[in-house]
Amino acid sequence: MTGTLTTSGILGPAPETAGSSQSLLSARRGLQWVALGLAVAWNLWDLRATVLPVSYLDDASMHEQMVRYATRAIQAGHNPLTGWFPFLGAGSPQFLHYQSLGAILTALAGLIVGPDAAFRWSMFLLLALWPLVIYAAGRILQMGVWASTTAAVLSSLLMTVPGVGYEHKAYVWIGFGVWAQLWASWTLPLAWAFTWRAVGNRKFLAPAALLVALTAALHFETGYLALLGVVVLPFVVPSDLKSRLQRAGVLLACSLLASAWVVIPLIAFGKWAAINQVLQSTPLVNGYGAGRILSWLVNGQVYDAGRFPVITLLALVGLAVSIRRWRTDPLGRALVVLWVVCLMLAFGRTTFGSLINVIPASHDIFFRRFLMGTQLAGLYLAGQGAAWCARAVIALTRWAPSRLIDGASRQQNTRWLLVGVAGALGVAAVVPAFVQVHRYDDANASAIEIQRDGESIQGPQITPLISYIKSHGQGRTYAGLPTNWGMTLTVGAVPVFKYLESQDVDEIGYTLRTASLMTDPEYLFQQSNPSDFILFGVRYLILPVAMPPPVPASSVMQRGGFRLWEITASGYLSTVETIGEVAANRADVATRTEAVLHSSLAAHHEDLSVAFAGSGAADPTAPSGSEAARLLGTMKTVTSQPFNITNNVAAGTVHLPRPAIVMFSASYDPGWHVTVDGRAEPTQMLAPAVVGVAVKAGVHHVVFTYEGFAYYPELAILGVLALALLLVGTRRSKASPKKMTSEMIRARPP
């Protein structure tokens, strides 16, 4: 452009001479790869401490434990999806209730390098290389090279107030450790990109269905966002709505079939997956609400918390440009729609109340997590905004010198000067973000080193206690709670009840980690009540040296600041008489059985049977207040073996003076089966939510065996067949060249 500054000169491409066009294109491509490479290299260097061996302070401890469990199961020739995960919340079918594909994939690498090393390297590489995925998805969306590159560079600089979005804080040691979300952060951008292409061109249906299904399997909340793209993106181009809806319908059906191996077991066993009562009424579950989130958005706290809002401003420019081009830019419309809908989902039940129940399984969703969708869409809007700003600067440098300065040489020098000034201002705007993230990563590295030093001193002290527990077994370990002294008894900075997880010790105290029916009752555990130790099968206590045991126990050993105690009268198996019943379901099991947890029933060999979710309870075995239950005090229970993780078996021999209920202190699940002297017997649920079986008087060998969902292979085959048929079908039919050319022209940015 040589004489006038026009709208097209800013919003569209500026004409160039044929001679300079090719060299400028080569220079732009070179700079693009340099920028992308530097962003990845900076991540690799800044996050290098992530690969150091250390016990975790956050949720990463649970994810690492899942990887170890899956590695062990695969080595034994078992499917980890069908096993019983015994370590937290009195056990659960964790790989069914929770998003577990990432743990299984990492466990496969763990067969070679070890599960802990595989976990650490997965976190490091998934986080450090994420800009490459953002760039690739941008190009699949048919965004411009520089818009995609800018979005990729900015992706490592996100920082929000909640801290659980697509940012380093969500994953690293001093952060939150939401590792399953990190896996899905790789598939969601690609799922959106291929979905956008698939609703316009059926040849993209198969990869879109695969990526949507993978996202759902890797992280449930992110899976909702992937499916959201399938639902809303067809409506972005109304002129072709019928065919786009048809393709979206096929995509949705195939995605659900491909993810059936995750979805169907969740539905089938959802009745026995607890709703988190403790957090259910908080913004963590219900969302922060429109007012709070919009305030964060306006103040730059969704993308740039605590610094100059560079990403926020670029996203605002991209939003404005997309709205300005609403009629001519389908991709811009798509990004705006995704951004708005994700924002509304993040408002959650706090804003929409019972209306939110139209979303399937809405009571199991943490709505605040949907803010990550707004972050992702905002990244691409920021990339679009940055590209628009760059084109505006280039247009200005062509227009201003030619209008205000005489002489070609002086005009050229002035253009380079203006470009240099604009580039310097852009760098200056981004530098604070790099500095902030670097300081956070540096603090994370320092915390890891301090923890490693602490473990080198205190680890050898607590190891003999852990070795004794593992070799003797027969019950769980208690080392405090997050709500009491447990937070101050630490190995380094990690509370012992979390450190035990890194050592695969079955424990009580690290609360609200799973969806087992016992997870909410565990939160109500009272260390002053001997009955609670019986109900939860606690046999060992790790206490500070100066602290006496809260219940009768025998001292085993002391090392450093830790003392191990053993409750010889408690363990996985105990005996009770049922003296009544209580009704409960997955949403209220803790509150409905709180009276039992606060009573002395179990210490007197008494309990209540549970009528769960409308099912009838087993008949009481003794009237309330009778002497029958107290006579069981003369019985003897001998656990012949600890819980066998590989075979999902717990067994014991009981000596009973009269018929009673043998209580196994594991969270109730219909997958539990029991034999008494080799004969199958029905299980029953005992308060608060443990497993029981009726046994006659005498000496009996009782075996509890867990058998998980049996149809994973068939559902996996169904998913593979659906994707294969979709791939074959789409390769045989092609979209209309004329229609696709028109769409691609409209969607492709200048």
CA 175 to chain CA centroid, Å, is 13
- At 253 the pLDDT is 97
Please say whether the beta carbons of 334 and 233 come within 8 A: yes
pLDDT in tens, 211-268: 999 999 999 999 999 999 999 999 999 988 999 999 999 999 999 999 999 999 999 9
Low-confidence ranges of the chain (pLDDT < 70): 1-28, 397-419, 422, 623-643, 645-646, 733-750
Judging by beta carbons within 10 Å of its beta carbon (0-12, 13-18, 19+), is residue 112 exposed, middle or buried? exposed
Return d(Cα 362, Cα 354) in angstroms, integer: 10
Token digits for 82? 């069908």
- At 634 the pLDDT is 53
Which residue from 386, 395, 419, 373 is spatially nearest to 313, judged by alpha carbons? Answer: 386
**What is the per-residue DSSP string for 450-510?**
HHHHHHHHHHHHHHHHHHHHHHH-SSEEE---TTSGGGTSEETTEEHHHHHHHTT--EE-S
What is the number of other CB atoms lying within 10 angstroms of the CB of residue 703?
A: 17
pLDDT in tens, 62-109: 999 999 999 999 999 999 999 999 999 999 999 999 999 999 999 999
- At 421 the pLDDT is 74
Return d(Cα 158, Cα 306) in angstroms, integer: 11
Strands 538-544 and 476-478: parallel
Judging by beta carbons within 10 Å of its beta carbon (0-12, 13-18, 19+), is residue 359 exposed, middle or buried? middle
Please say whether the beta carbons of 701 and 676 come within 8 A: yes
- At 636 the pLDDT is 55
pLDDT in tens, 591-636: 999 999 999 999 999 999 999 999 999 999 886 555 555 555 555 5
* DSSP β-bridge partners for residue 544: 562
Strands 573-584 and 660-667: antiparallel
- Would you mind telling me the total number of residues written for the chain in this entry? 750
- At 424 the pLDDT is 81
| Residue corresponding to tokens 């992937």 | 226
Q: Residue 617 half-sphere exposure, CB side, CA atoms within 13 Å?
A: 22
Return d(Cα 678, Cα 300) in angstroms, integer: 65
Q: Where are the domains of the chain?
A: 7-46+129-268+279-414+717-747, 50-128, 460-566, 573-706
Return d(Cα 125, Cα 108) in angstroms, integer: 16
Return d(Cα 582, Cα 144) in angstroms, integer: 62
Q: Please enumerate in sequence order all residues whose Cβ is within 8 A of that of 260, keeping only pairs 6 or more positions apart, or say none.
A: 715, 718, 719
Return d(Cα 626, Cα 459) in angstroms, integer: 49
- At 695 the pLDDT is 95
- At 741 the pLDDT is 42
**What is the per-residue DSSP string for 369-424?**
GGHHHHHHHHHHHHHHHHHHHHHHHHHHHHHHHHHH--SHHHHHHHHHHHHHHHHH
Token digits for 462? 């607590």
- At 395 the pLDDT is 76
Please say whether the beta carbons of 141 and 193 come within 8 A: yes
Return d(Cα 203, Cα 338) in angstroms, integer: 23
The order of strands in the sheet holding 636-644 is: 636-644, 649-656, 698-706, 672-676, 679-681
Residue 91 zone, left/alpha/beta (φ > 0; ψ -120 to 50; rest): left
Return d(Cα 598, Cα 532) in angstroms, integer: 8
